């Protein structure tokens, strides 16, 4: 699959990027894989990992920032597929550094879109977050704006060969900056677990499920879709108890910009909502003239009406046994 084609991953040295590139190498997908990131140390570490050393002939490493459009234009030359994973992501950090988040998450995404279209890439898949749905924080607002740019690009560059789609998901279990490594660090240091709110819930996805969703999207999307994998929820306090039910828990209060519960699909009526196996597919109504094309591509049977998908009211919550298994991450 994709044997004679090339792919580039922005933010390619992050938790998702590194795991995704490793998956592509093991599956022998793509003749050339380009890792684009601004972190030269992480690139050095990837290059010296056994799996990446073994496949060095098909790998290319670009040090660059998505804020630099000229560098992106150079990196995207003759690239068939682009996964846009680069972003600034910490919710509380965004509240105190708003201009930096705008430069990376909004203006950087615009640069990625422009460079992809100018180089006639076949497909761009951007990674989004549940924080972009009905945002109350600066990070979520920048990601919402970036999402709107990705979807609008299908109209703006409709005469080009490039399609633009989104994959939106919630928290990734065990990823850098997530709650599991923090709890494990606190446990190792014999410190209490710090919980913001005992009733706080989040969606959960494993890295493998993220990768599977992006691969599915690379195969299926035609431009303009928001792909959402059906995901279970958990309470943060249950994750702490799964790691250690003997460690002390301190309730510290909600941080600036933080939600008690998250949404992946809001009940706003501005999107057509469909199901396809393990996925929900959202089509923004700005693309109404293409709706027949979407229905034909996915063989949609029935549109879902008046639907909201949030972590509090989710039908599936992870059990204690499932959480213990998922949090067993070194």
Model pLDDT for residues 258-290, shown as the tens digit of each residue = 899 999 999 888 899 999 999 999 999 888 888
Q: How far apart are CA 84 and CA 110, in angstroms?
A: 11
Q: How far apart are CA 174 and CA 288, in angstroms?
A: 38
Model pLDDT for residues 64-80, shown as the tens digit of each residue = 999 999 999 999 999 99
Burial of 44 (0-12, 13-18, 19+ CB in 10 A): exposed
Instruction: Give the three-state DSSP class for 83.
Output: strand
Q: Please give the pLDDT value at position 148.
A: 97
313 phi and psi angles, rounded to 5 deg: -100, 15
Q: Please give the pLDDT value at position 124.
A: 98
Closest C-alpha among 43, 13, 11 to residue 128: 11
Say which residues have a Cβ less than 8 Å from residue 36's Cβ, sequence separation at least 6.
8, 9, 10, 11, 12, 62, 64, 66, 72, 75, 86
Q: Please give the pLDDT value at position 330.
A: 42
Model pLDDT for residues 192-247, shown as the tens digit of each residue = 999 999 999 999 999 999 999 999 999 999 999 999 999 999 999 999 999 988 89
Closest C-alpha among 11, 82, 282, 254 to residue 169: 282
Q: Give the mean model confidence (pLDDT) for residues 85-110.
A: 96
Strands 171-172 and 201-205: parallel
Q: Please give the pLDDT value at position 51.
A: 92
Beta strands in the chain (DSSP E): 6-10, 32-37, 59-63, 81-84, 123-129, 163-169, 171-172, 193-195, 201-205, 225-229, 233-235, 249-251, 263-265, 271-276, 279-284, 309-310
Q: Please give the pLDDT value at position 175.
A: 75
As beta bridge partners, residue 43 has: none
Instruction: Give the three-state DSSP class for 194.
Output: strand
Beta strands in 139-178 (DSSP E): 163-169, 171-172
The answer on pLDDT for 114 being more than 80 is yes
Q: Please give the pLDDT value at position 224.
A: 95
Q: Give the mean model confidence (pLDDT) for residues 304-327.
A: 92
The answer on pLDDT for 89 being more than 60 is yes
Q: How far apart are CA 31 and CA 266, in angstroms?
A: 39
Strands 59-63 and 32-37: parallel
Active site residues: 131
Q: Please give the pLDDT value at position 1.
A: 74
Q: Give the mean model confidence (pLDDT) for residues 118-130.
A: 97
Q: What is the DSSP letter of 48?
A: T
Domains annotated for the chain, with CATH where assigned, are 65-172+203-231+263-313 (3.40.50.720)
Q: Please give the pLDDT value at position 177.
A: 66
Farthest CA pair distance, the chain = 60
- Provide the pLDDT confidence category of residue 320 given band limits of 50, 70 and 90: confident
Distances (CA, A) of 19 to 23, 166, 175, 221, 230: 6, 19, 10, 22, 21
């Amino acid at each position: 699959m994709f044997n004679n084609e090339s792919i580039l991953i922005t933010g390619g040295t992050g938790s998702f990027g590194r795991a995704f590139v490793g998956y592509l190498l093991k599956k022998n997908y793509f003749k050339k894989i380009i890792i684009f990131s601004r972190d030269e140390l992480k690139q050095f570490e990837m290059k010296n990992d056994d799996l990446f050393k073994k496949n060095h002939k098909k790998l290319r490493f670009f040090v660059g920032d998505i804020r630099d459009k000229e560098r992106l234009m150079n990196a995207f030359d003759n690239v068939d597929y682009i996964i846009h994973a680069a972003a600034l992501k910490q919710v509380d950090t965004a509240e105190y550094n708003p201009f930096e988040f705008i430069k990376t998450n909004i203006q950087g995404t615009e640069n990625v879109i422009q460079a992809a279209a100018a180089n006639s890439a076949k497909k761009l898949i951007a990674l989004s977050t549940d924080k972009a749905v009905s945002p109350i924080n600066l990070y979520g607002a920048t990601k919402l704006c970036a999402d709107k740019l990705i979807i609008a690009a299908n109209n703006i560059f409709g005469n080009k060969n490039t399609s633009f789609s989104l994959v939106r998901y919630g928290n990734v279990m065990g990823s850098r900056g997530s709650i599991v490594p923090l709890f494990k660090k606190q446990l190792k240091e014999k410190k209490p677990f710090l919980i913001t709110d005992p009733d706080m819930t989040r969606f959960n996805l494993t890295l493998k499920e993220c990768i599977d969703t992006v691969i599915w999207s690379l195969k299926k999307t035609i431009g303009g879709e928001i792909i959402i994998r059906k995901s279970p929820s958990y309470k943060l306090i249950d994750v702490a108890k799964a790691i250690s039910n003997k460690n002390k828990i301190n309730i510290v209060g909600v941080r600036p910009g933080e939600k008690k519960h998250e949404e992946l699909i809001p009940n706003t009526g501005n999107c057509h909502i469909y199901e396809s196996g393990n996925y929900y597919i959202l089509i923004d109504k700005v693309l109404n003239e293409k709706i027949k094309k979407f229905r034909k591509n996915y063989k949609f049977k029935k549109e879902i009406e008046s639907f909201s998908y949030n972590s509090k009211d989710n039908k599936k919550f992870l059990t204690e046994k499932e959480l213990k298994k998922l949090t067993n991450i070194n």
